[in-house]
Amino acid sequence: MTTLAPLKTTKPLPQSGQPRVGVLLVNLGTPDTADTRGVRVYLKEFLSDARVIEDQGLIWKLVLNGIILRTRPRAKARDYLKIWNTEKNESPLKTITRSQSDKLGAMLSDRDQVTVEWAMRYGNPSIKSGVDALIAKGCDRILAVPLYPQYSAATSATVCDEVFRVLARLRAQPTLRVTPSYYEDEAYIEALATSIETHLASLSFKPELIVASFHGMPKAYVDKGDPYQDQCVATTEALRRRLGMDETKLLLTFQSRFGFDEWLQPYTDKTMERLAKEGVRRIAVITPGFSADCLETLEEIAQENAEIFKHNGGEQFSAIPCLNDSDPGMDVIRTLVLRELQGWI
């Protein structure tokens, strides 16, 4: 005989007044603390997701628990300490995502029925806590906003998976919408171009070229049908058109390889080494796939790759900040949210 687990019942929605619409901004995630234990907890959750590491078989579990979680957290904790927001005792990603949520809430303050929360796919605040907070405020409709311009199963899809898991436990479910990727959105491309132009104007040197570095992905995932690579290419081509550059002045690369499988190429670190050895002395790097600065942009690009470039003969390197909670960046999020809220507000 099959036994059905009881579904949780949420508190009844208010019977008077206009039902509220919730917006949940979601980014990748962060350790709660910049120490070995905090990073180990974070990495275990992250690397145990079958969207991130698709083969979660016995061999992977042995490697994860027997090797990776015993060695990698200590090294990554040192990297997090290099960029940690010591004033708030949190990662920059958490600081920036909170600010994005606060600013979006202020931008939508003239729409009384809308409330905004934020969450992380891995770590805290969790997606469950964000959904619970919106429901507690009377939201019977929720727009989930994965903060990834380019779609991939390992980012956007796993956000949806977790939102669906949270809703699956509820008896009284809110209606759900999810924003699509916005890799070619006019507001997004314009914001990127503006950020590049503003940053370059502030430099004491003129870069010979710009590298657009996106987070990497195993090539096998794309071979199976993930559209991520095509969307990264489309973003780069749109940005080239807007800036009047060709592929020799705005290069596309992929960073953050992990493991021994082939990942999307060209690799960012190898490109930095090659360019410097070929005589390029001044360079700027933008990371269009990240909506907020994080370990991969502030440490891996601005520090590690800068060192690779200079070690091989490069002289001047500048990392262009992500859109973050800047005015252009917030215009992108606001445009995306208002577009997807049509018919609800």
- The SS3 of residue 133 is helix
The two tokens of residue 225 are 């049908």
Inter-residue contact 83 to 91 (CB < 8 Å): yes
Nearest to 300 by CA among 314, 281, 287, 282: 287
Nearest to 317 by CA among 272, 279, 287: 272
Q: b/e for 266-281, b at 16 or more Cβ within 10 A?
A: ebbbebbbebbeeebb
CB count in 10 Å sphere of residue 325? 20
Instruction: Determine whether the annotation assigns residue 311 to a binding site.
Output: no
Query: Is residue 279 left, alpha or beta, with left meaning phi > 0 and alpha meaning psi from -120 to 50?
Result: left
Instruction: Determine whether the annotation assigns residue 215 to a binding site.
Output: yes
Nearest to 142 by CA among 133, 131, 151: 131
3-state per-residue secondary structure call for 71-102: HHHHHHHHHHHHHCECCCCECHHHHHHHHHHH
The CA-based angle 335-214-182, given to 5 degrees, is 20
* Binding site listing for Fe(2+): 215, 296
* Binding site listing: 215, 296
